[in-house]
Structure 1
Amino acid sequence: MTPGMEVRPAEPDRLPLRVLLVAAEPVVRLQLRRLVSGRPDLEVVGSARNDAELEALLAETRPAVLLVDARDARSGAAAVLRLAARQGLRGLSLLGEGAAPAGAALPCPADLAAEEPGGAFMQQLSGALRGAAGTAQPSRLAATRPSFRPELIAIGSSTGGPQALSELARALSRRRPSLPVLLTQHMPMTFTAMLADQLSRCGYPAVEAMEGMPLQPGRIHVAPGGFHLLVRRDGDRLACTLDDGPPENFCRPAVDPMLRAASRVAGGRVLAVILTGMGSDGLLGCQGLVAAGGVVLAQDEASSVVWGMPGAVARAGLCHAVLPLSAMADAVARLATGGPS
């Protein structure tokens, strides 16, 4: 057998998801094998250095999904994924930190040796692998903890967002949850004020956020272009804070800082909604929010212009539900009032 190729006998009746690793660097293959094999819900059935080695392994190992180190050009990620597609398989790409995922992809920590099978990254990776394999696509609202009573709603969107937000605002205007709403839409300065006006014309009051502005129930507070929208607690009320710090996920405003701040201030009492958008902004923020006890809804692929941002949180297994845009307002209204889901 060619050096670098490792095979385990295929056992089609095993319950764990069957994963085949593709990584050019031996140390990376070793660390990925250690991490993936250490989880009871995953099984490594083989590994290869590139597409040339992969072809001989596919029939022998019968994986459910490929895990590809796309950070190293020697792995030939594009060729690997094309080969997998011809075989009816899907793959998940590991990207360098800060890279914007396209398709099924996940940012990879710089030091895999520091990660553990039960850690946050591997929980995220497990959900992303199942999503890429097509085994983790929720289609209806799941059951919620009876005690979930959100204190605020946080919405993130990008490409296709203004149209989706207008539709959501029109639908929500008939229900008007009595909670303040934070909104980060990837949009430059001057356009965010126009967005707030557009949403108000759709029947849901909206305003471009200002420093120190109190959060009002039943109102959308839009992150202004050029600033991350954060939130702080002033006594018994919440207020907006604007941050002109570095861009995150190549954006300012960005969704991740908003979700981090909301989670710090309100703990698990946050309902996050991730709508259509390119990249993966919101993924890390949703991870922390869910860990704190919050709830995430994501727009489904069919109704999204670009299923990047909602797809990232869906594939990571962070979503309470993945819904068409037409069903989102009902779900938000029910969860916002603590009603049955």
Structure 2
Amino acid sequence: MGIKVLVVDDSSFFRRRVSEIVTKDPDLEVIGTAVNGAEAVKLAAELKPQVITMDIEMPVMDGITAVREIMAKTPTPILMFSSLTHDGAKATLDALEAGALDFLPKRFEDIATNKDDAIVLLQQRIKALGRRRLYKPIARSSAPSSSSTKAKLTTGVSSSPRSVRDTTNLRGSALVRASGKKYKLLLIGTSTGGPVALQKILTKLPANYPHPILLIQHMPAAFTPAFASRLNGLCQIEVKEAQSGDQLKPGTAYLAPGGMQMMLERGGAHGRLKVLAGSADMNYKPSVDITFASASKIAGRDTLAVVLTGMGADGREGARMLKSAGATIWAQDEASCVVYGMPQAVTAAGLSTQSIGLEDMADSILRESGNG
């Protein structure tokens, strides 16, 4: 039997299209369809699918509300379909905050230029999510308290659990003991599951975090401005979408723009960013490999690089260059990953010195950076 999938969308055409794509893969099986969020909640409990594909805008009950209810009652991996618009980005981030694990553009031509590639990618995403076992929700941790206005900007954030994976009994790591090494730069690369993971880590960093931070998250161009804005409102550090010419500053995180490549070059006290379109044949825009590789030439051994949850192996070759330059490489552990692809690639290549659970990652970074 294949991975059991529930398809949720108010459009009969889209339900049929997604169902046809899913059933083309012998490892996948559509066990039901729903026309709105309320029906999805009911069928999730009755049919117990291993993955749910979910639309956002639906009558009776919208997709975000449905995600919250499913995560509270019958936790199930959920893949959201979203429009590549500013409103679509905000809604998708709300859905991820509510507990959805991944998202794809609703227009298949926005997934990949080639139709067959888009179909394969959708099937791969569903299979990756279907292999993950989920647990009952854990209480979300709040952002660090602060008297500053910035730390209080948490409006619009769901009060539902931030993660559907209870890693309390799965943690294979403890806080990393500080090595005593001095750093000048923190790099974090991630993909599937990254938005929630980044939020969990960055909200724990103090405003006086001593180094600049470069963030590379696989994400469409329409999403990165909204994601940077959301993180900036939640975090004590500054978070912004990177622009060419940005002079790096301590306590500031720079998110690589979707559809572009972010590179570090010499300039100023801490380096300067160059943002460009990059090669058309690159699989990822932004690419963790490209940012990591550029940092290896500028910051070298003074870099702490972290590879978080995500499909594929983006980041491995960049991490290899960083390692050769003397940098420290860490990877998220398997138990706390939504998809153990990118961290596994780095770990299997012998590049990472630590595999750290998501719950411990921020505190470990702070200790290693001299803030713990």
TM beyond 0.5: yes
Q: CA deviation at 1:164?
A: 0.7
**Aligned AA (1:336):** S
Which residue in the other structure is 2:285 paired with?
252
CA distance in 1, matches of 2:179, 2:272: 27
Does the 8 A contact of 1:246 with 1:252 survive in 2? Answer: no
Matches of 2:230 and 2:339, distance apart in 1? 21
* Cα deviation 1:1-28 (Å, max 9, x = unaligned): xxxxxxxxxxxxxxxxxxxxxxxxxxxx
Q: 2:323 and 2:187 mapped to 1: Cα distance?
A: 13
Aligned residues: 205
Cα distance change on mapping 1:235 and 1:170 into 2, 3 Å: closer
Give the structure 2 partner of residue 217 of structure 1: 250
Indicate the residue corresponding to 1:85 in structure 2: none
Pair 1:262 & 2:295 matched: yes
* Corresponding position of 1:97: none
Q: 2:272 aligns with which of 233, 239, 245?
A: 239
Change in CA separation of 1:269 and 1:215 when aligned onto 2, cut-off 3 Å: same
Q: Specify the code of the residue in structure 2 equivalent to 1:181.
A: I
- The partner residue of 1:151 within 177, 184, 188 is 184
Matches within 5 A, 1:22-37: none
Identity of aligned residues (%): 39
**Residue in 2 that maps onto 1:197:** 229
Matched, 1:312 2:345: yes
- Per the normalisation by structure 1, the TM-score is 0.56
Structure 2 stretches of 5 or more lacking a match? 1-120, 128-171
Paired with 2:342 and 2:214, the residues of 1 have a C-alpha distance of 17
Give the alignment partner of residue 239 of structure 2, picking from 202, 206, 213: 206
Say which SS state the counterpart of residue 182 (structure 2) adopts. coil
Q: Is the 8 A contact 2:184 2:270 kept in 1?
A: no
Cα displacement string for residues 276-310 of structure 1 (whole angstroms, at most 9, x for unaligned residues)? 10000000111111111111111111111001001
Q: 1:180 to 1:235 in 2, by over 3 A?
A: closer
TM-score normalised per structure 2: 0.51
Q: In the alignment, what sits opposite 2:308? A: 275
Task: State the partner residue of 2:359.
Answer: 326
Question: Cα distance 1:176–1:162, how it changes in 2: closer, same or farther (>3 A)?
Answer: farther
Cα gap change, 1:276 to 1:254, in 2 (>3 Å): same
From 297, 301, 305, the equivalent of 2:334 is 301
AA paired with 2:287? A
Asked if the contact 2:178/2:367 (under 8 Å) is kept, the reply is: no
Q: CA deviation at 1:243?
A: 2.3
Q: CA deviation at 1:313?
A: 0.7
* Structure 1 pair 260–338 and aligned structure 2 pair: CA distance change class (3 A): farther
Distance 1:315 1:250, change over 3 A: same
Matches within 5 A, 1:108-127: none
Aligned match of 1:290: 323
Q: Which segments of 5 or more consecutive residues in structure 1 lack a partner in the other structure?
A: 1-99, 104-137
User: C-alpha separation between the residues in 1 aligned to 2:302 and 2:227?
Assistant: 26
Structure 2: how far apart are the matches of 1:242 and 1:281?
18
CA distance in 2: counterparts of 1:326 and 1:221, whole angstroms = 22
1:180 to 212, 218, 234: 212
Contact 2:175–2:363 (Cα < 8 Å) also in 1: no
SS of the counterpart of 2:266? strand
Structure with the greater alpha carbon radius of gyration: 1
